[in-house]
Amino acid sequence: MNMQDLLNQARKMQKEIDNKKNNLKNTDFTFEKQGISLVISGGYEVKKISIHPVLADPEDIETLEDLILITLNEALEKINQENEKIMPNQSGM
């Protein structure tokens, strides 16, 4: 394989990665946990937050805040995992 073939192969791989990243960015993920529902794009844009009315207790805002944080952090971790699936193994480069 000559240098030009290697460059062409690298360009093709980069284009495939860019396409996958773009598809992921435009994909919406829905996460639900204990009455909290989030819709977040693969580009990390929070598009919707829904809270079950029973959680809207003005006497216990801390629990609601904790549930939102837990759900959001789990959602972001899942999107990170999806992003990692797209990236090629960098150890060989």
Query: Mind listing the pLDDT tens digit of every residue in the chain (93 residues)?
Result: 789 999 999 999 999 989 998 999 999 999 999 999 999 999 999 999 999 999 888 999 999 999 999 999 999 999 999 988 887 654 444
Looking at the domain assignment, is residue 52 inside a domain? yes
- The pLDDT assigned to 93 comes to 45
Looking at the domain assignment, is residue 75 inside a domain? yes
- The pLDDT assigned to 88 comes to 62
Question: Domain tally for the chain?
Answer: 1
Looking at the domain assignment, is residue 93 inside a domain? no
Looking at the domain assignment, is residue 92 inside a domain? no
Note the pTM of the prediction, 2 decimals.
Answer: 0.74
Range of the domain at 41: 3-87
Which residue in this structure is represented by tokens 């999806």?
82
Q: What are the helix (H) ranges across 26-60?
A: none
Looking at the domain assignment, is residue 17 inside a domain? yes
Looking at the domain assignment, is residue 26 inside a domain? yes
What type of residue sits at position 44? Y
Looking at the domain assignment, is residue 72 inside a domain? yes
The helix (run of H) or strand (run of E) holding residue 62 is helix 61-86
CATH number, domain of 65, equals 3.30.1310.10
Which tokens belong to 21?
């990243």
The residue among 15, 13, 17 whose CA lies nearest residue 25 is 17
